Amino acid sequence: MELYLPIAEMSVHWLIILGMGAAIGFLSGLFGVGGGFLLTPLLIFYGVPSTIAVATTASHITASSISGALAQWRKRAVDLKMGLVMSAGGLAGTVFGVWLFGVMRRSGQMDLVVASSYVILLGTVGGLMLNESLAALRAVRSGAAASAARSGKHLWLHGLPFKMRFRQSRLYISVIPPVAIGFFVGVLSAIMGVGGGFVVVPAMIYLLRMPTNVVMGTSLFQIIIVTAATTILQATSNFAVDIVLALLLILGGVIGAQFGVRAGERLRGEQLRLLLALLVLAVAIRLLFGLVIEPSDLFSVATVTP
């Protein structure tokens, strides 16, 4: 049955959207990522205007992050103080990103910026992950334990002023790096419709040196706040959130996620990371092709919102 989306002003097949939500939910359950980086391009390929796709995906990520965050909260694995500091940066980044989003949309470079930031970010993250998971797999095969020990060294980041004690993370560091990371992710969330987990988690581990047991919970906490803010700002300044589309995606997503979690329990960590790396690289390459191959139609038409 076709369903009419009141904000996107198009009709979609509800099963396809539900299936998309479920597939992304499955992957997010499997890999423990939000899946926004896959959902936004998928919606755009289906024909949803990129503005609506970016803005609506944010609310899907809020929903899919909630259950994970609640589970971590019960395990007391959320560094609330760190989460709030990062969210403060994240909110500023969201405001800036939504403003930037509006400017780009008016100048006609929206699609270019979305696609090229996806290519750069996914290419980098995917490449790093591929490299790391291959190294880990090789290490496992040769019998040596993968070395994760990298503490002790001090980065220049830790010499910055405005130090604050984060008891739960057992850190005494400057607030500048977490605020800056939060800001960066807020901008990404607003212009790409992603939660930014694939940036936040490595940043927490490698830059902030947070203990891994609080990384997942804290990043989810921060993602919820940032994507919720993105949803509200996109709704107020760009009128770009389609609640019917969001409902379908979320329903599919929460169901898919449960199967994803179960499937994930049967696969080893290194294999999972390898699969995710390949997936991320595939999306990046697909988007790169879209940028460099001559389009079949050079012209595009946009109706200026009255």
Residues that bind other proteins (CB under 8 A): 1-4, 6-7, 9-11, 59-60, 62-67, 70-71, 108-109, 111-112, 116, 224, 228, 231-237, 239, 241, 243-244, 246-247, 250-251, 254-255, 257-258, 291-295, 297-304, 306
- Min dist CB 11 to other proteins, Å, is 4
Helical axes 243-265 vs 14-31, angle rounded to 10°: 40
Q: CA 1 → CA 17, 22, 35, 43, 249, distances in Å?
A: 11, 18, 26, 18, 16
CB count, 10 Å around CB of 95? 18
| Nearest-angstrom CA–CA distance, 67 and 224 | 11
Instruction: Pick between residue 144 and residue 293 the one whose CB is nearest to other proteins.
Output: 293
Six token digits for residue 260: 């994803």
- The gap from C-alpha 298 to its chain's centroid, in whole angstroms, comes to 31
DSSP string for 241-268: --HHHHHHHHHHHHHHHHHHHHHHHTS-
What's the min distance (Å) between Cβ of 131 and other proteins? Answer: 25
- For other proteins, the closer of residues 133 and 231 by Cβ is 231
Judged by CB, which is closer to other proteins: 1, or 145? 1
Can you give 123-190 as a three-state secondary structure string?
HHHHHHHHHHHHHHHHHHHCCCCCCCCCCCCCCHHHHCCCEEEECCCCEEEECHHHHHHHHHHHHHHH
Q: Min. distance of Cβ 270 from other proteins in angstroms?
A: 26
Token pair 């809020």 in the structure block, residue: 62
Supply the minimum distance, in Å, between the C-beta of residue 113 and other proteins. 10
- For 290, half-sphere exposure in the C-beta direction (CA atoms, 13 angstrom radius) is 18
CB of 185 to other proteins, least distance (A): 18
Nearer to other proteins, 218 or 231 (CB): 231
Question: Which CB sits closer to other proteins, 111 or 132?
Answer: 111
Nearest to other proteins of 25, 177 (CB atom): 25
Shortest CA distance to 240 belongs to which of 101, 91, 97, 62?
101
Q: Which residues contact 248 (CB under 8 A, 6 or more apart)?
A: 3, 14, 17, 18, 21
List C-alpha distances in Å: 69 to 88, 215, 244: 18, 11, 25
| Terminal CA-CA length for the chain | 31
Identity of the residue, 162 or 299, whose beta carbon is nearer to other proteins in the bound complex: 299
Cβ closer to other proteins: 43 or 180? 43
